[in-house]
């Protein structure tokens, strides 16, 4: 798969990392904070953050000027998930030398959830039965 930039501003490229977040039982993890990072051995640089929607989906746009080494043009990317109390509940493996948009799905531990969102998801699924 080739590099598909979302936008270009001079030598600065914009990309997207997106995916779905689910609990181990397969239910979507809604209202989970997701943060994307560029990492090296000793530090990490935030690329952006968002909150998952009712279906557990997220999307974060980032640009190459936010990388630890902007001239490199590639990220060593990881995505972390946090519950409503900002406690970590999941993390992806690091993807090295990422040059382009990525899809990173996560499975997270329970943490502190918003039960109402899960209840609404269940109601939607049961309506058709």
Task: Tell me the pLDDT band of 3, cut-offs 50, 70 and 90.
Answer: very low
- The residue that leads in pLDDT, 111 or 4, is 111
In a domain, 81, yes or no: yes
CA-nearest of 54, 97, 99, 58 to 79 is 58
In a domain, 56, yes or no: yes
In a domain, 72, yes or no: yes
pLDDT digits (tens, 9 = 90+) for 6-39: 554 457 888 999 999 999 888 999 999 999 999 9
pLDDT digits (tens, 9 = 90+) for 55-113: 999 999 999 888 888 777 789 999 999 988 888 999 999 999 988 899 999 999 875 55
Long-range contacts of 64-70 (CB under 8 A, 24+ apart): 64/11, 64/12, 64/13, 64/14, 64/15, 65/12, 66/38, 67/38, 68/38, 68/39, 68/40, 68/43, 68/44, 70/12
Whether 2 has a pLDDT exceeding 60, the answer reads no
Q: Which domain holds residue 56?
A: 7-122
In a domain, 128, yes or no: no
Number of domains comprising the chain: 1
In a domain, 1, yes or no: no
In a domain, 97, yes or no: yes
Per-residue pLDDT, 19: 98
pTM of the model as a whole: 0.76
- For residue 82, give the CATH number of its domain: 2.60.40.1120
Q: What angle do CA 78, 84, 90 make, to 5 degrees?
A: 30
Per-residue pLDDT, 54: 93
Whether 122 has a pLDDT exceeding 80, the answer reads no
In a domain, 129, yes or no: no
């Amino acid at each position: 798969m080739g590099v598909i930039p979302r936008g270009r501003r001079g030598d600065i490229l914009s990309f997207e990392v997106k995916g779905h977040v689910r609990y181990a039982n397969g239910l979507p993890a809604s209202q989970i904070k997701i943060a994307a990072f560029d990492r090296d051995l000793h530090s990490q640089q935030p690329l952006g953050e968002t909150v998952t929607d009712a279906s557990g989906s997220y999307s974060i746009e980032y640009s190459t000027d936010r990388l630890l080494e902007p001239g490199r043009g590639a990220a060593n990317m990881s995505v972390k998930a946090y519950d409503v109390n900002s406690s970590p509940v999941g993390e992806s493996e690091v993807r090295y030398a990422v040059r382009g948009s990525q899809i990173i799905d996560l499975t997270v531990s329970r943490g502190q959830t918003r039960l109402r969102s899960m209840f609404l998801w269940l109601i939607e699924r049961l309506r058709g039965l």
